[in-house]
C-alpha cells in the first residue's frame, strides 16, 4: 500500500494512494458531467431562442405564379384604390391563405369557386367576370398593384388592424353579412 503524507498543523496524516485516486476520478467525473450538461443546456437554449428559418420546397417559378395571381387580384379588386387599399386587399387574400378556411395557395384561394343554390360564386368577383386572358388597361395601376403584392407576399408587410380581416366589399353595396367591421380603406369596408 502506497501512502501519501499530508501535513496538518503539527500532525502528519497518511492517506492511501487508492483513496486519492478515487477522489481524483470522482472529482474529474463530476466536472465532466457538469461540463457536458452545461454544454447541452447552452446548445438547447441557443437553438430554442434562435430564429432558424425553416426551408421549404418553394421554387422561384411557384413564387412568381403566386405573385402574378396576387397582383392580378389587387389590380382587379383595388386597381384604382390608394396604395393602402391595394395593400389591404392583398393582406385579406393572404389572411385567407393562412386561415385554414381557404386553400393554402394564393392562386387557389383567389380562383376558388363555390356553388350555392346551383349558382357559381367566386371568392373574388373578377374571377367569374373575366376570361383567363389578361392585359392590364392601366399600366400605372398594374405597376402599383405589383409593388403592393411584392410588399405583402415577399416582405410580409401588414397593415395594423387588418390582421384577422378575411372579407371586404365596396362601400356602395351592402351584403348584410353580419360580420364584425374592422376598417374602411378607400372604397372598401373590411370585416373579420
Mean pLDDT of 150-158: 96
β-sheet bridge partners, residue 191: 167, 181
For the entire predicted model, the pTM comes to 0.69
pLDDT in tens, 99-131: 999 999 999 999 998 887 888 888 888 888 766
pLDDT surpasses 60 at 137: yes
pLDDT in tens, 23-66: 888 888 888 888 888 888 877 777 666 666 666 778 999 999 99
Whole-angstrom distance, CA of residue 176 vs CA of residue 162: 20
Is the model more confident about 12 or about 168?
Answer: 168
pLDDT surpasses 50 at 92: yes
C-beta separation of 113 from 120 below 8 A? yes
Mean pLDDT of the chain: 86
pLDDT surpasses 50 at 177: yes
Closest CA to 186 of 153, 163, 162, 164: 162
Q: How confident is the model at residue 1 (pLDDT cuts 50, 70, 90)?
A: very low
C-beta separation of 97 from 104 below 8 A? yes
pLDDT at 95: 97
Closest CA to 169 of 82, 92, 71, 66: 92
Amino acid at each position: 500500500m502506497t501512502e501519501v503524507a499530508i501535513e496538518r498543523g503539527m500532525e502528519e496524516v497518511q492517506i492511501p494512494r487508492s483513496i486519492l485516486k478515487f477522489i481524483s476520478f470522482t472529482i474529474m467525473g463530476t466536472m465532466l458531467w457538469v461540463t457536458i450538461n452545461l454544454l447541452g443546456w447552452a446548445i438547447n437554449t441557443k437553438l430554442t431562442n434562435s430564429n432558424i428559418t425553416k426551408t421549404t420546397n418553394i421554387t422561384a417559378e411557384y413564387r412568381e405564379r403566386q405573385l402574378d395571381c396576387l397582383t392580378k387580384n389587387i389590380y382587379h379588386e383595388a386597381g384604382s384604390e390608394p396604395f393602402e387599399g391595394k395593400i389591404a386587399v392583398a393582406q385579406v387574400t393572404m389572411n385567407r391563405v393562412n386561415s385554414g378556411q381557404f386553400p393554402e395557395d394564393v392562386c387557389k384561394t383567389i380562383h376558388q369557386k363555390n356553388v350555392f343554390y346551383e349558382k357559381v360564386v367566386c371568392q373574388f368577383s373578377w374571377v367569374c367576370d373575366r376570361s383567363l386572358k389578361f392585359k392590364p388597361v392601366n399600366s400605372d395601376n398594374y405597376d402599383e398593384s405589383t409593388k403592393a403584392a411584392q410588399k405583402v407576399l415577399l416582405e410580409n408587410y401588414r397593415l395594423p388592424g387588418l390582421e384577422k380581416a378575411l372579407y371586404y366589399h365596396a362601400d356602395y353595396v351592402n351584403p348584410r353579412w353580419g360580420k364584425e367591421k374592422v376598417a374602411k380603406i378607400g372604397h372598401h369596408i373590411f370585416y373579420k
